[in-house]
Amino acid sequence: MRLFDVPAPRVKICGITSETDALMCAEAGADALGFNFYSGSKRYIDPSVSLGWIAKLEGAADRVAVVVNATPELVNLLWKSECFEMIQFHGDETPLQCESFGVSRWMKAVRARDAATLSHSLQFSAPQVLLDAWSPAGYGGTGEVADWGLIRDFIANSRSRQYVLAGGLTPLNVARAIAEVQPWAVDVAGGVESRPGVKDASLVKAFVSEAKKST
């Protein structure tokens, strides 16, 4: 996987809704691309019409399927399609549920509401944990900025995982976020869009450039 072959900080661009945007983001230097299969998301894509073009992206960047409280049938469909290098569980899944799906490579997303929420993430066996901003508005992609201080202190005292920082990142703040939090990777969706689900090439390039300044 590319995520493991490049130095930190890695860049994951989430909420990809088209092959054109996927190729543009990969060409700009993204290490991973996220595809949202949660029907409640503004960036939802239907697997029945998207798996064909996602399959053609093999080798361009790591492909991550994002699901929220998904059925075993959906997770099984996505993983067995061989279109993805990783599944990202972004809902209220328990450690047991995540492990029960039979996915060999997955990460858990946790909304960083407080120290107790972050400590709960240690119950998951996945080596990668995505720490997102907490918001009552939904499961990620809200544009809310995560509490960097809270996450920084947690990461500093818990190096047993590889942490992905998400939540309200943009080309204007990602370098500062990396300097302060020192994450393994950063994740962005709305911060590089012209409108929900449509990536802006100039913002994508600026984000990747700013994120990788410290590489």
Q: Which residues are catalytic?
A: 14, 132
Instruction: Give the span between the Cα atoms of 177 and 166, in whole angstroms.
Output: 10
Instruction: Give the span between the Cα atoms of 97 and 145, in whole angstroms.
Output: 28
Query: Do strands 162-165 and 193-195 pair parallel, antiparallel, or not at all (unpaired)?
Result: unpaired
Instruction: Give the span between the Cα atoms of 215 and 103, in whole angstroms.
Output: 31
How far from chain centre, in Å, is Cα 116?
Answer: 22
* Token pair for 174: 């990602």
Tell me the chain's radius of gyration from C-alpha atoms: 16
Bridge partners (DSSP) listed for residue 44: 36
The dihedrals phi and psi of 198, each to the nearest 5 degrees, come to -120, 115
Angle, helices 148-156/174-181, rounded to nearest 10 degrees: 40
